[in-house]
Amino acid sequence: MNYADFYQRSIATPEQFWQDESALIHWNTPCTQVLDHSNPPFAKWFVGGTTNLCYNAVDRWAASQGDKAALIAISTETNTERSYSFTELQREVERCAAVMQSLGVGRGDRVLIYMPMIAEAAFAMLACARIGAIHSVVFGGFAANSLASRIDDAKPVLIVSADGGSRNGKAIPYKHLLDEAINLSSAKPAKVLLVDRKLAAMELVAGRDVDYAELRAAHMDAQVPVTWMESNEPSYILYTSGTTGKPKGVQRDVGGYAVALASSMKYNFCGNAGETFFATSDIGWVVGHSYIVYGPLIAGMATIMYEGMPICPDPGIWWSIVEKYKVTRMFSAPTAIRVLRKQPPEYMRKYNLTSLRALYLAGEPLDETTSQWIYDELHVPIIDNYWQTETGWPILSIAKGIEDLPTRLGSPGVPMYGYKVKLLNESTGEECGANEKGVVVIEGPLPPGCMQTVYGDDQRFVDTYWSTFTDRQVYSTFDWGLRDADGYYFILGRTDDVINVAGHRLGTREIEESITSHPNVSEVAVVGVEDKLKGQVAVAFVIAKNAAEVSSDEQRAAQEKEIFAVVDRQLGAVARPARVFFVPQLPKTRSGKLLRRSIQAICEGRSPGDLTAIEDPASLQQIQNAVQNGLKN
């Protein structure tokens, strides 16, 4: 099939195109209208149709291939491994659903899931989908302040958590973070359901906290029927960092998401029922939602849920999993591959990897060196793909399930079907020509599977994503890009103040607000700086309230550690800056605008650009001195 024709059909006749694609999932009742775009930029897909994510991921496969593997939970942290068939997965999900219902959870209620990568986390997500509850997964180990803000926004009736997770053999207690977050929040949940892994001590709060194992034992024979959901009812909320301190709750629907995932598993990831999919992400991120839990299961594949590091107990662990479970499709991030590249090659070469047909990489730009190295080792297609929490599935890639187009180093590919991708000049709003830098935007309506709105705040959805250009309403990705003469896109970095650390999006404003809470911080600027391993790292520049307290190298080092601790406590270690530099002033324009791009350029050894608008040019020299001195220490 010719991809150009396939893509054009999705753009020219979207209703007919997606009506055809909707046949990939089960509908309890068919839709009465494929697309309602009467209130742009909001789009409703498969209006009136009823379906259920859990039914499509579990029940229909339990009926047709119940004995086949569905969920393979592996933890190299606890040396445990358990495979659940589709039949066994359905039983566990129904037990979990019955437990939730016994705790008062019903259709439309929010359930916050704060868990490590264990099977019970998948049971909880699927159980919510089964009974029509809206889940909001928060990355396990997230700091109390960040967790509290998400509790207050989602207002969950139930929180599902565990005593702790584990990283590199070290237990990470969750319960004290959860207790602190609930204390900080105003929207306190009625119940907290806890999985006790025996990793960390925890005390149950009487009347609120309940033990999952005890309640599960009381519902072993539970049969919980599927709640059929109208296609546009919310399925989940997933919070993502923004340019303000308040995180945005990306709200996803039911039917459109199911169709988009089924379609992408067929055309992008070429997955077949009975095969095995291995995504190395975490359920706290969108990849974990789309391509660990829902996507592979909707396609009838076994999905691997992995708790552990890529190099522990040794750098061959992922490849041993590929061999053992005959993984056909693998999805990871460039950062992880760069880590593996530093290890002795024999760890990879000792395993039989002939089952693997492709490796997909996303979350950050894929550099040519990393791509070429992993291709030389695996000898399978290395397929980059670019997308966002907001879109739920790839915007740019190569859909080899339609046509085996060549990949192009440095490019994630071409626009995926359904996405009307454009490059617009930031100043004029006009379309860019070949090899001209512009803002990557998508013309509405967004295809199925993309975010419906910001949870509880439709106006923020419009203001944030659809108001970048005054003369036209288009969805902004907030990424710079360019397109070559053949239509391949290249992503050049963010237009806003969100940075990408090893595939994790972090708002610089959130980090700045956290650092400002340190008693000796007067003002702070955080920028994303290029890093060979992680893609980007956060770097902070601080003006101290009392300069005398940071006058020596020893004092600066001590306060840097204190600031690290503040960020760890409030946002989590993933948001910790790589460095904190102390400066007497920050470079600003005469109107008071912080010159972030100039600071970033200095950190990356580039020219800071046009300085005619700067209030005090000496401030940039101070930034440069701080960076140079810091590199020596």
DSSP for 207-222, please give it. TTEEEHHHHHHTTTT-
ω into 296 cis (within 30 of 0) = no
Residue 39 has pLDDT above 80, yes or no: yes
pLDDT, averaged across the chain: 92
Residue 112's pLDDT is 98
Q: CA-to-CA distance for 450 and 536, rounded, in angstroms?
A: 26
Binned at pLDDT 50, 70 and 90, residue 617 comes out as: confident
% of the chain with per-residue pLDDT over 70: 96
More confident residue, 406 or 596: 406
Extended beta strands in 385-452, E state: 396-397, 414-415, 420-424, 438-443
Residue 593's pLDDT is 59
More confident residue, 517 or 298: 298
Residue 591 has pLDDT above 60, yes or no: no
Q: CA-to-CA distance for 311 and 544, rounded, in angstroms?
A: 40
Residue 52's pLDDT is 98
- The burial of 612, by beta-carbon neighbours within 10 Å (0-12 exposed, 13-18 middle, 19 or more buried), is given as exposed
pTM for this entry: 0.85
Query: CB atoms < 10 A from the CB of 226, how many?
Result: 20
Q: Which residues, other chains included, contact 133 with Cβ-Cβ below 8 Å and sequence gap of 6+? A: 100, 105, 106, 107, 108, 109, 110, 111, 127
Nearest to 296 by CA among 628, 489, 509, 69: 69
Residue 9 has pLDDT above 70, yes or no: yes
Residue 631's pLDDT is 57
Contact 327, 356 (CB under 8 A): yes
Which domains are present in the chain?
Answer: 421-492 (2.30.38.10), 498-632 (3.30.300.30)
Residue 106 has pLDDT above 60, yes or no: yes
Summarize the confidence of residues 320-328 as an average pLDDT.
98
How far, in whole angstroms, is CA 184 from its chain's centroid?
25
Summarize the confidence of residues 277-297 as an average pLDDT.
96
Residue 517's pLDDT is 87
Residue 82 has pLDDT above 90, yes or no: yes
State the amino acid at position 271 in one-letter form.
G
pLDDT tens readout for residues 12-27: 999 999 999 999 999 9
Residue 590 has pLDDT above 60, yes or no: no
Residue 238's pLDDT is 97
Residue 299 has pLDDT above 80, yes or no: yes
Residue 516's pLDDT is 84
Summarize the confidence of residues 520-540 as an average pLDDT.
87
**C-alpha separations of 6 from 23, 52, 211, 267, 476 in Å:** 17, 28, 51, 11, 24
Residue whose entry in the numeric block shows the structure tokens 């209208």: 33
Q: CA-to-CA distance for 483 and 441, rounded, in angstroms?
A: 12
Residue whose entry in the numeric block shows the structure tokens 């986390």: 121
More confident residue, 553 or 271: 271
pLDDT tens readout for residues 230-250: 999 999 999 987 655 678 999
CA 359, 360, 363, 369 dihedral sign is: positive
Q: CA-to-CA distance for 494 and 146, rounded, in angstroms?
A: 23
pLDDT tens readout for residues 351-383: 999 999 999 999 877 878 889 999 999 999 999
Residue 400, classed as helix, strand or coil, is: coil
Residue 615's pLDDT is 61
Residue 245's pLDDT is 61
Backbone angles phi, psi at 46, to 5 degrees: 55, 50
Contact 131, 106 (CB under 8 A): yes
Residue 632 has pLDDT above 80, yes or no: no
Q: How many residues does the chain have?
A: 633
Q: Of 209-223, 349-363, 440-454, 489-503, where does mean pLDDT reach its minimum?
A: 489-503
Residue 307's pLDDT is 96
Residue 325's pLDDT is 98
Binned at pLDDT 50, 70 and 90, residue 611 comes out as: low
Residue 599's pLDDT is 87
DSSP class per residue in 549-597: GGSSHHHHHHHHHHHHHHHHHHT-GGG--SEEEE-S---BBTT--B-HH
Contact 28, 50 (CB under 8 A): yes
Binned at pLDDT 50, 70 and 90, residue 498 comes out as: confident
E strand or H helix that includes residue 437: none
pLDDT tens readout for residues 414-469: 999 999 999 999 889 999 999 998 999 999 999 999 999 999 999 999 999 999 99
Residue 330's pLDDT is 98
**C-alpha separations of 510 from 149, 439, 574 in Å:** 12, 24, 12
Backbone angles phi, psi at 479, to 5 degrees: -120, 140
Residue 601 has pLDDT above 80, yes or no: yes
